[in-house]
Structure formats: structure tokens, C-alpha cells
Amino acid sequence: MLNISQLTKDDIIIVHQLAHRIWPDAFKDILKPEQISYMLDWMYNMNTLTEQVQTGHLYYMITLDGAPKGFIGLEPNYPDAGTLRIHKLYVDPNDQGKGLGKALLEKAVEIANELDVASINLNVNRFNNAVDFYKSQGFEIVKEEDINIGKGYYMEDYVMVKAL
């Protein structure tokens, strides 16, 4: 049975744990291990995650038969008013293809409708198979970005948008 629940600053450690479990496998064919480690330390340290929750980011965990399997991180009105940003959406690779990612996206659409925003946007690595998943869910590529994240690393992303 699938269940999606909102996380608070008190249980945001679950996102930290899931990211450290999912990322090495999800990005093994795209990024060098050193970049994966650097990005995990940068984006998924407890201080960063806690601060995000305290400043209005919304995190939801999806469980399958009671076991945590993935998460989504959202930010209302980013980068502009009237949009909902998906900063993070990850599902354990062993559980992909079971509808968990789709359920998390449906949760994002539900939140977007509650907030009365016109679109949902996200960045995704250009070499990630998730690009096709997002396209199948109504997202369109609107531009490419190469974002310098320090230490000689770049995020080579597509910016994708879904109009509501």
C-alpha cells in the first residue's frame, strides 16, 4: 500500500537517509563518485534540510507497505510567484516502475492546485532517464542550464515546466 506523508523538521532526517541510499545508484552512470559525494554533502546535510523546512519548503515521503521508498521537495513561488518548484524527487531504483514517482508528482499537482499556481517547474540532469518520465507526465523542456556548483563540478540540466 502506498502512503504519502508530509515531513517536518523533526523527521527530515528521513530525506537525508533516503538521498544517501538512492543517489549513489541513481547517478552512478552520470556523475563521478566524488561529485555525488560533494552534492550529497551540499544539498542533503541536516542543517540545509532543516533550514529549508523552516523557510517554507515542503517535503513529502512516500512509503510502500510501511517502508520509506522516496521523497519530493517543493518550494512554493519559486523562482517566481505563481509557480511551484520541484527541487527534489527521488524514488529508490529498486522500486521504480511501481507508480511511486507518478504518485509523488500527483501530490505536487495537488499542492499546486491548493496554492492556485499556474505551473510546476524543475531541473533535471540532461543525461538522467527521468527526463523521459517527466515528459510522459506533461512536462516540457524550456531550456538548458549548466550550473557551476563549485570544485569544478557542474549540474548539466534541463529546465522543465508543466502548465496547469
Does residue 73 contact residue 58 with C-beta atoms inside 8 Å? yes
Distances, alpha carbon 15 to alpha carbons 1, 58, 83, 85, 131, in Å: 20, 12, 23, 17, 22
pLDDT band at residue 161 using 50, 70 and 90 as cut-offs? very high
| Mean pLDDT estimate for the chain | 97
Q: What is the pLDDT of residues 133-155, one digit of tens each?
A: 999 999 999 999 999 999 999 99
C-alpha to C-alpha distance for 69 and 54, rounded to whole angstroms = 24
Q: pLDDT tens digit string along 93-145?
A: 999 999 999 999 999 999 999 999 999 999 999 999 999 999 999 999 999 99
Intra-chain end-to-end CA distance of the chain, in Å: 28
pLDDT given for residue 87 in this prediction = 98
Q: Domain segments of the chain: what residues?
A: 2-163
Residue 68 confidence class, pLDDT cut points 50, 70, 90: very high
- For the entire predicted model, the pTM comes to 0.96
Q: Give the per-residue pLDDT at 75.
A: 98
* Class of the domain covering 2-163: alpha beta
Per-residue pLDDT at 128: 96
CB 75 within 8 Å of CB 112:
no
